[in-house]
């Protein structure tokens, strides 16, 4: 029986880009409303809540971007939408560095408040929501312990990129119980089948 993919979230730094360096009053130049940054970086290893390391391979978003209608949401809240790919107000693309996004903050009360908070530095991080289509596991012995790395080869869908006020570094909807269930599936690593119980014990030691 096929199980439903859980939506996961990862944190990244957002960047506020000013169109012109000079934005002083009287210059006749308006400050940019463009927000841009990277939702994910390729070949960068991150520790996911102490359970395992994770990295995303180049090309992982290629197919997902063709089928995803992505929103830019504040705090993942659909009531606070900033942009959307389907409407042409949000650009999301994969380049050599990672998953890049850009949008113009809307000229609304919330859009203006958002830009003010961004310029002040009150908001400096975001997360993006996604599901995984294809992955593999790698293992490496470090001292007396085994370290496991989840390699995301293909993303199934990207749901949103979301500037957030209180980001959890590796926030995910996958609970510890769900992770343990996933680990019960035999995983072939370097032609060896990792026993699920042994792997669960190894992960618990890392907590």
**Domain assignments of the chain as residue spans, ordered by start:** 8-174
Q: Are strands 71-73 and 145-164 parallel, antiparallel or unpaired?
A: parallel
Given a contact cutoff of 8 angstroms between Cβ atoms, the answer to whether 12 and 125 are in contact is yes
**Can you give the pLDDT at residue 127?**
81
- What pLDDT tens digit does each residue of the chain (207 aa) get? 444 578 888 876 666 554 444 445 455 556 788 998 888 888 888 877 667 888 999 999 999 999 999 999 998 899 999 999 999 999 999 999 988 999 999 999 999 999 999 888 888 887 889 999 999 999 888 777 888 899 999 999 999 988 888 765 443 333 333 343 444 443 333 333 334 434 544 544 454
**Can you give the pLDDT at residue 202?**
53
- Structural element, H or E, at residue 170: none
> What is the C-alpha separation between 198 and 202, in angstroms, rounded?
6
> What is the C-alpha separation between 104 and 118, in angstroms, rounded?
13
């Amino acid at each position: 029986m096929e199980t439903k993919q859980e939506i996961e979230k990862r944190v990244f730094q957002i960047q506020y880009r000013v169109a012109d360096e000079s934005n002083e009053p009287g210059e006749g130049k308006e400050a940019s409303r463009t927000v841009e940054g990277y939702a994910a970086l390729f070949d960068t290893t991150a520790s996911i809540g102490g359970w395992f390391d994770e990295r995303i391979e180049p090309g992982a978003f290629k197919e997902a971007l063709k089928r995803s209608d992505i929103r830019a949401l504040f705090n993942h809240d659909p009531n606070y939408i900033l942009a959307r790919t389907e409407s042409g107000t949000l650009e999301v693309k994969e380049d050599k560095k990672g998953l890049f996004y850009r949008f113009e903050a809307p000229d609304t009360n919330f859009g203006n408040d958002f830009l003010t908070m961004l310029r002040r530095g009150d908001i400096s991080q975001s997360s993006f929501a996604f599901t995984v289509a294809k992955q593999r596991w790698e293992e490496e012995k470090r001292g007396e312990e085994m370290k496991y790395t989840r390699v995301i080869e293909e993303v199934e869908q990207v749901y949103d990129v979301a500037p957030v006020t209180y980001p959890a570094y590796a926030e995910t909807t996958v609970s510890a119980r769900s992770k343990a269930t996933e680990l019960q599936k035999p995983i072939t690593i370097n032609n060896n089948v990792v026993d699920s119980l042994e792997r669960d014990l190894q992960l618990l030691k890392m907590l």
